Chains A and B, each alone.
Chain A
């Protein structure tokens, strides 16, 4: 149970794949009649500045919900954002017929029917991407948010400043997810690959082998030029021959990095410290 919910690596599908429905749904309680507005494809994923951010408030106490709504309205004004807010009076309500249309969910931990934590676990089974923020009071201090990839929470009664900071982070986290692509020149044409899907790039004489989660491409051109194109993304040159996507590093053992797909790549000695530091910042910032 916990392992399913503890999301570690999510792998967006390449463009064109049907946006939100990934594989068979596991949970039964989440089927239902409620039809939320649904946008096509990956539309929800990358709210740019100016687009509407969809927020769900799940809170049984009306006064508390009203306070959150006030805070959200104030935030809209202060930061020039636009929120589309829906309120649910219990965890059971949001879970019933849940559709992954929300960008952010504000979940009260203590609710009469279905508590916020159990609701989050159910939601995570079908929606790995929605940013969950728990709202709780002192007495439930020790929340196990890591099990549902919610690594911070706000304490009741919710003060505006702390809340605004949490919303700011959540929005930043949404915007970081913007998908982008790399055009690869392979023999016989061009291939478009999502940068998130690239596991690592390997230098091979005058060509570069691009290892992705789905397969390999042999690209004309040196590693250097691709490295320049990926500048500022989560890639790190772990030695002269490899450019590694930090997103797909599963572990580090001695002087090699374990990658998705079972690759075991050498990290050159002088670069190991910088590699670990880059990985620390990448992983630490990704979940923040």
Chain B
């Protein structure tokens, strides 16, 4: 059997370089042009040199050579595209498979056209190669731009990175196995066919990675939609609340006008004083504004207490709002809004109105802030589906609320727990007070 020449190492180096460059160009946050050109030129030299060097290594050290090449690719991407280490890893995995695919495809066609006797000379071969490479990479660039938003960080999770790397490595080894050892069940033996097998395996790898990215985008889009949904829902509630407040003010204004007229007309001092007392009493209820020391929390507690008053829920709270100054407004509203919504939903399922009790506490203890939301519940209803958490009609939103609270708590290095005991459901959130915002002096802590 004739021995077929394998891909010249220079070409492999160039393919790797071009694949890396493609992903670098997909990012908007890359280096400025002049420095990018410099880094790219340097990378080209390094990648080709690494390939040439790897060629001189014995077959046993083949994987070492490949590891060096991958490391060089990774370094190129991380420097030129200015992405996080994880994102760069994700790109490097894709670049590796893409480089293999283009190099394999080109070489397969090259061998088909130019290998038999009497075919055109080197000039034609080079021209063909150049056209192939440029066309392939431009095509892939066009395909990939649909899946990568240049300004957004990828935020690849370690799980996603791991699966991308796994796909890349499996593709890489399966496609090269025929060249390393012809004596395995997966090795091709027939001349040009093994080139074709390699191209196909690489193509599969590329498609798998492409699909993975597509799925990531879809998942993220879904999460975005949920977050926006939640925000709109809150805004709508806020709007309804404002509308109700305006109506109350309007009504009170009319009442006041009449009462003032009556007061003006009254000549008797004693009666006048008693009218004034009545007047004072009639507006005292509207002073029930929460003043906890945290503006966002005040708004939430005020609107939720009004909601509770309307629904006949007994909501009481003891809250030191200053303890959560380190939390962003969005997080405060997400945590307290969600937790109170859950509690209100739960107590509304209790048939006896006098048992609709919610107790909220927010306070600092040691280096921690604790928030507890407790509500009475009808034990029989809750145990139906085993889990203590969800049994609402609007199951989807409810589950999302708890998840969002947990997520926020963990973002601040804290924790969230739920428990049910003696007909009381308790949601507890613990947040370590960040060192910078700790107001107590250390002496007070060590007391």
Contacts and interface: CB of A to CB of B under 8 A. Distances in A.
A, B from the same assembly: yes
Contacts of B446: 250, 260-262
A251 B361 contact: no
Contacts of A144: 318, 320
A151 B288 CA distance: 19
Interface in B335-385: 352, 354-355, 357, 359, 361-368, 370, 372, 374, 376
Given A8-B365, A260-B446, A143 B432 contact: no
A159 interface: yes
Interface stretch (A37-45, A86-94, A202-210, A276-284): A276-284
A154 B315 CA distance: 10
A152 B361 contact: yes
B404 interface: no
B355 A279 contact: no
Interface stretch (A13-21, A134-142, A188-196, A220-228): A134-142
Contacts, number: 128
B319 A280 contact: no
Interface stretch (B19-27, B159-167, B422-430): B422-430
Contact of B354 (A9, A143, A147, A161): A161
A2 B10 CA distance: 75
Contacts of B444: 3
Interface stretch (B46-54, B109-117, B205-213, B410-418): B410-418
Contacts of A161: 352, 354-355, 357
A283 B318 contact: no
B291 A142 contact: yes
A253 B319 contact: no
B433 interface: yes
A284 B290 contact: no
How large, as a class, is the contact surface on chain A?
Answer: 35 or more
Given A251-B433, A283-B365, A287-B365, A139 B357 contact: no
Contacts of A147: 320
A167 to B, nearest CB: 13
B419 interface: yes
A276 B413 CA distance: 9
A159 B354 contact: yes
Nearest to B305: A141
Nearest to A276: B415
A53 B79 CA distance: 72
Contacts of B319: 146
B414 A276 contact: yes
Interface in A99-153: 138-139, 141-147, 150-153
Contacts of A143: 318
A153 B316 contact: yes
Given A3-B440, A283-B430, A8 B366 contact: yes
Interface in B12-40: none
B305 A152 contact: no
Q: In the complex, which of the residues A139, A273, A279 has the most CB atoms of chain B within 10 Å of its own CB atom?
A: A279
B314 interface: yes
A252 interface: yes
Contacts of B354: 159-162
Contacts of A152: 316, 318, 359, 361
B393 interface: no
A251 B445 contact: yes
A261 B289 CA distance: 42
Contact of B428 (A260, A261, A280): A280
B48 to A, nearest CB: 42
Contacts of B447: 8-9
B290 A250 contact: no
A138 B211 CA distance: 59
B367 A280 contact: no
B390 interface: no
B361 A287 contact: yes
A192 B2 CA distance: 89
A252 B320 contact: no
A96 interface: no
Contacts of B359: 152
Nearest to B438: A251
B372 A284 contact: yes
A288 interface: yes
A280 B415 contact: yes
B363 A280 contact: no
B435 interface: yes
B285 interface: yes
A251 B430 contact: no
B184 interface: no
Nearest to B287: A139
A155 B414 CA distance: 32
Interface of B: 284-285, 287-292, 305, 314, 316, 318-320, 352, 354-355, 357, 359, 361-368, 370, 372, 374, 376, 413-417, 419, 422, 424, 426, 428-430, 432-433, 435, 440, 444-447
Given A251-B433, A253-B432, A288-B374, 11 more contacts: A3-B440, A8-B366, A138-B288, A142-B289, A147-B320, A253-B435, A280-B414, A280-B417, A284-B370, A285-B426, A288-B361
17 contacts: A3-B440, A9-B366, A138-B285, A141-B305, A146-B319, A151-B361, A152-B361, A153-B316, A159-B354, A162-B354, A251-B433, A258-B367, A279-B368, A279-B415, A280-B414, A280-B415, A285-B426
Closest 10 CB pairs of A and B: A251-B367, A276-B415, A284-B428, A280-B430, A146-B363, A145-B318, A151-B361, A250-B366, A146-B320, A161-B354
